[in-house]
Amino acid sequence: MAQSKVGVIAQDLVDKIKHQQYQAGDYLPSEHQLMDLYGASRETIRKALNSLTDLGLIQKIRGKGSIVLNLDRYTFPISGITSFAELNNQLGLKAETKVLLLQKEDKLPVQFIKYFPEEENSTGFHLERLRLIDGQADVLDCDYLLSPPVNSLPREAAETSIYDYLENKQKLDISYAAKEMSVCKVDKRIQDLLQLDNDLAVLVASRNYLADTTKFELTLSYHRPDKFKFVDFARRKKIKL
């Protein structure tokens, strides 16, 4: 699927930051300069810059422009709700996905029940995907997509981006997630898949929701401890009391 103009510009700017063409402390070219550089409208440039702001790569300073932040954050953010495919595109990871399992279940698989007991009798699509970066296993994502609201899940979507499929084909409005991080013991299969030296992995368990607060996805994401890095870029949201 071709990237939008906004996505192409954002990706090019991310690449230039990653390769230090724009270094920490530098200001990006002005909006007008970027409009000329990319042959794009002001609205398109602003949307691309907003993408970099959301990633925590830049900070907009009124009257000066967009400054590149020193965050060294080319890793998986734990907060937010972004697909692996989107991260791969945005951060330029040399990543691939291997689908290990995709099947419809009448009830929640046993490994999920400890973390999501309220959904024990829910039907859904059980999906397991191994994420590799530079050819090395890095993350094992185990997902259970509740049905309803998810009414189908083709293998092609599982191999690319399930969020793209759910948002653009099934018209689901994905909105937010509640996540919990812990260190846990894993079985021999997960040890072998992630090439672990022992039975410990970092687990991120999450409940993912639509904009109308409907829960649509349960995720158990197992990370290699030696590769795992907690990075949480937070922006202040002012609340009027």
Q: 53: domain range?
A: 5-68
Please tell me the distance from the alpha carbon of residue 154 to that of residue 133, in angstroms, as a whole number.
24
pLDDT, tens digit, 9 for 90 and up, residues 184-240: 999 999 999 999 999 999 999 999 999 898 999 999 999 998 877 666 655 555 545
> 120 and 59 share a domain?
no
CB 12 within 8 A of CB 22: no
CATH of the domain at 54: 1.10.10.10
Are residues 63 and 110 both part of a single domain?
A: no
Q: Which of 154, 178, 179 is nearest to 168 (CA)?
A: 154
- 47 lies in the same domain as 112: no
Six-digit token string for 25? 């402390």
In a domain, 234, yes or no: no
pTM of the model: 0.66
Q: Both 91 and 209 in a single domain?
A: yes
State pLDDT tens for residues 11-61: 899 888 888 899 888 999 999 999 999 999 999 999 999 888 877 788 888
Residue 73: per-residue pLDDT: 44
Integer-rounded Cα radius of gyration of the chain: 19
17 part of a folded domain: yes
49 plus 156 within the same structural domain: no
Strand partners, 178: 207
- Label residue 158 exposed, middle or buried (CB < 10 Å: 0-12, 13-18, 19+): buried
pLDDT of residue 99: 96
Answer yes or no: do 39 and 144 share one domain.
no
In a domain, 33, yes or no: yes
Query: What number of residues does the chain have?
Result: 241
Domains in the chain, number: 2
Domain co-membership, 23 together with 113:
no
- Do 23 and 127 belong together in one domain? no
CA distance 100 to 14: 31
Whole-angstrom distance, CA of residue 30 vs CA of residue 220: 42
State both tokens at 236. 């202040």
